[in-house]
Amino acid sequence: MKRLQNFTFRKMAMTCVMLLLSMSLFAQSHIDLNPSNAKGVQSSNMSMKGFNATFSINSIEAGNVNTEKGVFSILSFNNSIPSGEAGSPQLPVIRELLAVPFGSTPVVTIKNYTTKEYKLSEYGIEKVYPNQPSVRKDINPEDVEFVYNAASYNARFYNERPIAEVEVLGTMRGIQIGTLQVNPVSYNPSNNTIRVYNDIEVEVTFNDADIQLTENTLINTFSPYFSIVYQQLFNNRAIQDVYDDHPDLWMSPVKMLVIANRMFEESMQPWIEWKTMKGIYLDVNYTDEIGTSSADIKQFIKDKYDEGVAAGQAPTFVVIFGDKDQVAPSTNSASETHMVSDLYYGTVDDDYFPDMYYSRMSAETTAQMDAIINKILVYEQYTMPDPSYLNNVLLIAGADSYWNPLVAQPTINYATTYYFNEEHGFDNVYAYLNNYTGCYEHLNTGVGFANYTAHGGDTSWADPSFTVNDVHNLTNTGKYFWAMGNCCVAGNWGYSSECFAEAMIRAEEKAAFGYIGSVPNSYWYEDYYFGVGATSQVNGQMPLYENTTMGTYDAMWIDGMYNTLSSTAFVGNLAVCYATESGYEISVGPLYYWEAYHVFGDGSVMPYRTQPVVNDVSHLPTLPIGVSTYSITAAPGSYVGISKDGILYGAGMIDETGTTEIPLTPITSGGDVNIVVTHPQYEPYIVTVPAAALDGPYIVCKGVDLKDENQQADYGETLSFDMVLENVGTETANNMTVTLLTESEYVELLNSTASVATIENGSTYTIEGVFDLSVNVNVPDKESVVIYVNVTDGTDVWESRFTLTLHAPKLNINAISATANLAAGSEGVMTIELANNGTSPAYNIVADVFSAAQNIEFETISYTVEVLAAGETAVVEAPFRVSDDTGIGSMFEVAVSANAGHYGAEASYQIMVGAIADDFETGDFSKFDWTFENYDWTIDNENYHSGTYSARSAQISNSQTTSMKVSVEVLAEGEFSYYYKVSSEENYDVLLFYIDGNLMDEFSGSIDWSMATYTVTPGIHEFKWTYSKDGSVSSGEDCAWVDDVKLPASFVVLSLDPVTNLTADVEGNTVDLTWTGIAEAAHYLVYRNGEQVSEQSSTTFSEALADGIYTYTVVAVNNEGVMSRPASVTVNVGTVDVIEIEEIQFSVYPNPVNGILNINADACYEYSMMNSLGQVVMKGVASGSEQLNVSALEQGVYFLRLVVDKNVIVKKILVK
């Protein structure tokens, strides 16, 4: 799928190139920034807590433009959009749309970056082009003023914006939507220099996020039809993780809310019947009952949506039946377009992001509604006489002497280059770029899609002209298409008579079944982005696929996505959102486009791209009465609807195996059952089967019941289960043998056969206490296992299956921190937060810490958390001591691993000892070798960031400067930081900061104490602060202050690379370890479950052990005592059951408990009670019976741990 890259040149010079006769685009220039290390955009650690991302720019492109104000250059790079106030220098930025959890205040932290300055004249680049407003299509280009802000070009400093910033925009169906904007380019007009921040590493954290509310809302608003929308979000992975945890969501029917005028009730019935057959649950409502005003309808829709969210059945679609006089618009005068709009029926929280897809079947008469519905049914049910016309397409770049070559032709060229061509299955691509003779005749001969982009009128596509009368004169009976008009007002359904879009869908047995278009006047570049996606390639260039975000053309061609007319328009508007920077009145803005573009017809229709293929569907020839599931085989991702007599009994999605049991409300009477299977770009499968009892006996598996305390199959468990068989046939079944089979490597069927004497027809039989299975100790969490059920009576064979979800821990190291401000010989604590993100408890977690150097010595390297419940966290505190001979400014890497059997996680952390810093608390400049230029800085004891002193710039006069600088040797790459404060004439008297003569930052005006940080590389560097005044005017205290200057670490010890290919072979009870060593190693330390068991000079180790699960860790050590990061492997020795031990008989009761908990066991044992964080709240030693008084414990889940002869038994206890 096309990733949403964020780069738009929404307002390049040619927005005004055609506005001013003197303008022309010429020479191109190029600056290589990172030519040998093309990284682009990288992301990691996506979750509802936040993510990390790196943005790297490989080059900057510049195109020169001649204007009435002289020659300017437009700067761009991949993934950029233009930024800036109208008339001010236009600078490229990166913009991403984000999913933001509810309750969250997103915060972006800059973790790292590089900077470099470029004098543009050295690259043949002129002054940076001034940003220009959007241009509406109905405006004559000669009437638009070229905007130039002279004051912004007189500035003698770099523009100041955060390197990265985040903002929350609104809510879109189950999730908040925000933006991350990265501003990698600053510009100083006075010397025509840019500063480029590159390889920008950011961490976005969602502080105070209500993750549970967010996940619940996403679950309750789930719809497969919105997947294509969520994929436009930069951190979509966090949403998909929620859905992956709930595969049952795909078995819920899609919901549709219908709002109609009662006059259309009879006309709607064939459509209602078809949508029900497709598997869509319809909630049909009429305005004579819910109210006729916009306010009534809006409140009704909002109430329905809120009820749906609460019940986990939020509507996906809102379909409105009637024109404006039959069903009122959501507003007659939208806030931005001042025209009719249905946007506020689709959004329930009054922002511009819809929560449901909305569309309007705009008809004034029942005859018009009949015509609309008939065309939809022919198209969706695939009953057209000759579907080959779907392999033809009509694409028109409309006439405009200025904009046709700049926008319209590149739009159509993009479409034909990437999608609408022979390679994608088209027989005829009718693309018209400037000569339009006979173009509309193809609508008669047959096309599947027609797209026009240019000028429009209320009743026409303007040039080449195609009017409402022309629509009604079409002759394409049985060859209905869908159309998109990227033009002005052709979709104005608030017009006094039939608009062009309405004519398209109303024309009887001709024209279109659906139309996407704008109600008000549209804009040139915004329509461009709507189609091809936001891009920096404009002004006659065809945009490259990799240099655009997703537009409507791209959305049509994502395989497997449930892309509808409504989602196509939705994606187009999201592209406009990508191309629009918040805070500047430069663009028409996304709200205008959300209010503008509408879907005419049924927005839930999935258009065929070309002639579809046959879906290979199979199932029983009848549907047995009374069954609760029905097995269907079809292409993965197919949507199944099962209905009878106009009632939907079951719906669901075919999973990746291609065969799925569709859950049913049991059908209890005979008759015809409709089965409809739909899938994008497949022919619909529509059949009728009888609902009847099957001839003879017919046995199906009705379900299983796990005989387990928590009703789930956990790792390492051996458990039994009961199975319910049902005879859905017409005769009794006798003398049956039941056999279970599985192909899974993660379960073993211990007892997989059973005998059943008799099951009468219409009856069930439960096989109790026969079947057992064992779950492996290394199963991945939430692994789905298919178990096949084979039943035979010696003559007939009946096959069923059921799916079992296996559960396990999933360990993660959430965070690591350590005591700050350490000194040589001091003690500290490293704090490690462990998390179990799985669905089973983790037992006996061993957390190991390995310092790369002996300067950091931990009290012990191994720490144990006895139990960590699913979804919980635990904190491990590891005390350490810094050796006496450790130098100030030293940094040491510590590797951390956490293992619980086969489940583990790794991380590392760097502990800093002391800091090379000057806080000026000596009361002078003696700590570093400070020097001054022109005038000496002074020590100030009235303004300071910390302590009681800071450095203050000298008192100087107009047109003078004063500098403070220091040269130091940096031994390892790291962070340089300082705090600054400024009180000066804004924009004219400035504090400048240089590294090695390169200007890095400048600050002016009134700025309170703030921190500045920079990444510096090894070597000798000069750091200089200069306070500079212009020729007149003084403001504030007319100075700057600097405090707490901090240098990177002077000595860094990183861990060695770990050993590789660590393997463990088990023969009987003997474990043989082998690994590939590293060249630096002098010897290797071998640990077992956190305890050192050997020091090896070779790369092998062997020992004999008792039965159990063991985690081995191997660490390399060099001659200087520097250690490697650990490598680990977990093995099973003998027969292992991590939770239950059959030899020990014990009972614990009552459970739940609110007073006395009784323990009865036939052995001596140690016991401990732990809360969900792994903290021991009660412990002791007992033999036989023991009573524990738990009345003082808080309500919740606890774990009782019994230790008997080195065997461990754990039981979950609920204290009420």
Q: For residue 808, give the nearest of 842, 785, 845 by alpha carbon.
A: 842
| Whether 165 contacts 556, CB under 8 Å | no
> Cα(844)–Cα(842) distance, rounded to whole angstroms?
7
Q: Which regions of 487-551 does DSSP assign to beta strands (E)? A: 512-518
> What is the DSSP code (8-state) at residue 596?
H
455 catalytic? Reply is: yes
Q: How far is CA 1206 from CA 120, 778, 1069, 1209, in A?
A: 74, 22, 17, 10
- Cβ atoms of 759 and 727 within 8 Å: the answer is yes
Type of residue numbered 171: T
Among 738, 659, 743, smallest CA distance to 699 is for 738
**Residues contacting residue 209 through CB under 8 Å, at least 6 positions apart:** 48, 49, 101, 102, 103, 104
The pair phi, psi for residue 678, each rounded to 5°, is -125, 155
Show the beta-strand stretches assigned E in 779-872. 783-792, 797-807, 811-818, 827-836, 842-851, 856-858, 862-868
Phi and psi angles of residue 147, each rounded to the nearest 5 degrees, phi first:
-90, 125
Which of 455, 598, 902, 1021 is flagged as catalytic?
455
Burial classification of residue 800, based on how many CB atoms lie within 10 Å of its CB (0-12 exposed, 13-18 middle, 19 or more buried) = buried
What is residue 509's DSSP assignment? T
For residue 808, give the 3-state DSSP assignment: coil
The rounded radius of gyration (Å) of the Cα atoms in the chain is 35
Among residues 990, 1038, 983, which one has the least CA distance to residue 1008? 983
Residue 89, classed as helix, strand or coil, is: strand
> Residue 762: is it exposed, middle or buried by C-beta count within 10 angstroms (0-12/13-18/19+)?
middle
Residue 1124 buriedness (CB in 10 A; 0-12 / 13-18 / 19+): buried
CB atoms within 10 A of CB 758: 12
Residue 796: which residues within 8 A CB-CB, separation 6 or more? 696, 697
Q: What angle do CA 783, 789, 791 make, to 5 degrees?
A: 175
Beta carbons within 8 Å of 1180's beta carbon, 6+ residues apart:
1166, 1167, 1168, 1186
Residue 706 and residue 712 in contact, taking contact as beta carbons nearer than 8 Å: yes
SS3 299: helix
Which residue is associated with the tokens 């240099």? 547
**Phi/psi at 326 (5° precision):** -90, -40
With H, G, I as helix, E, B as strand and everything else as coil, classify residue 593. Answer: helix
CA distance 491 to 600: 8
- Catalytic residue annotation: 455, 488
